[in-house]
Structure 1
């Protein structure tokens, strides 16, 4: 005698194709069906459709890349340049290369910069950015760069030949010397053919890394 099949609560025989309902659904919803499909199957399908529509209209955004936090003295691969932040110093001036306004001082960051491109070029002024320095506008660029080896302003770097480069910012009179500075290193990405100029170009592409370095105060020694 064949075994009798246990009837389902709805009165119909269970279908082998019907998906197993997980216990996370409330018992009262286990047998609820939407147009012939179980509630769980319907919810998953609706969720997938919502994600597809959201992505099609730009609703899904890539999470921003985490910016590497490094210690001073650590090399940062920044595309066209490789940068190692060495130290920061507050000085009265760097004559004859750089001078502050009357009563002010210079905040100097020294970095080892290596050009990775195959054509010589000066280090970009935007390569280093200081963050939240009292007396310095958020978008302030340095006065310029200089080679520590021979004090050449805006020196032409040679491919794969690291140079110690000075970046100098001027701070106004009565500004307190910060105990430390937060330095960001700009990232650049190579494009073989620019969409605008149709020539090869290195374009700005966010921040490659950042570090916090203590500031040595040499102002008192200069008096």
Structure 2
């Protein structure tokens, strides 16, 4: 059984504002989801594997609100403001260059939801009470950190490029994978049927591929989002 409450990233998230509430996170949201499902929309629906574009390091993909260029995947160590003494979890990170499309600032949580890992043992490192998770279900990134200074990326400004580390906690009892399947999730800009504002909605996987995971050598410090390591 994996850890109940998560480790470093989960404790960090408790001290920051998520700035949004998912539909499933409230009674009203649950009612809305029920209406959507009854109307033929299944929020768990995914694109068939044969319809996904292949994905590899170096590829650039437009996921709707962002253009994402995948660089590499590594095990990282130090996270700003978080203790390094946590032996229960390790952190896997996809390093990517990200740029917002359009002319509006996009929330960082939308970027987190645009990248997911699938089928990685020990990810997520925690269990949700009362919910049985499919082990192959893609897991969105738990956060994004700016590589230049290690700060949390909570807003993506148009016209700027960001080199970021998108991170997931893995239960330390699971082995570091030699490769991990990364899924990019696209969104469509359309008018919301709830409040009639234009929003990025209808998340669906658009590309997927296996990335090599680089683990530090025994005498090499793990790479950190603030630029340490190699």
Q: Give the structure-2-normalised TM-score.
A: 0.62
Contact 2:92 2:167 in 1 (8 A): yes
> Is 1:143 matched up with 2:159?
no
Once the two structures are TM-superposed, the CA of residue 127 in structure 1 deviates from its matched residue by 1.0
Contact 1:114 1:160 in 2 (8 A): yes
Number of the residue aligned with 2:197: 199
Number of the residue aligned with 1:102: 87
**What is the CA–CA distance in structure 2 between the aligned matches of 1:151 and 1:97, rounded to whole Å?**
11
- Cα deviation, 1:56-79, whole Å, max 9, x if unaligned, reads xxxxxxx95711003211101111
Number of the residue aligned with 1:167: 166
Once the two structures are TM-superposed, the CA of residue 103 in structure 1 deviates from its matched residue by 3.5
Give the secondary-structure state (helix, strand or coil) at the position aligned to 1:174: coil
Q: Structure 2 vs 1, CA of residues 111 and 100 (structure 1 numbering), >3 Å: closer, same or farther?
A: farther
Once the two structures are TM-superposed, the CA of residue 106 in structure 1 deviates from its matched residue by 0.7
- Aligned ranges 1:38-77 → 2 under 5 Å: 66-77=51-62
**What is the CA–CA distance in structure 1 between the aligned matches of 2:67 and 2:90, rounded to whole Å?**
28
Say which of 129, 138, 142 aligns to 2:116: 129
Structure 1 residue runs of 4+, over 4 Å off? 97-101
Say which of 216, 219, 223 aligns to 2:214: 216
Number of the residue aligned with 2:12: none
Give the secondary-structure state (helix, strand or coil) at the position aligned to 2:78: coil
Number of aligned residue pairs: 161
Number of the residue aligned with 1:182: 181
After superposing the two structures, state which structure 1 stretch, 78-87 or 210-219, moved more. 210-219
Number of the residue aligned with 1:5: none
Report which structure shows greater RCO (CA 8 Å, sep ≥6).
2
Cα RMSD for the two superposed structures? 2.6
Q: Give the structure-1-normalised TM-score.
A: 0.64
Q: Structure 2 vs 1, CA of residues 142 and 162 (structure 1 numbering), >3 Å: closer, same or farther?
A: same
Number of the residue aligned with 1:88: 73
Q: Structure 2 vs 1, CA of residues 92 and 148 (structure 1 numbering), >3 Å: closer, same or farther?
A: closer
Number of the residue aligned with 1:156: 155
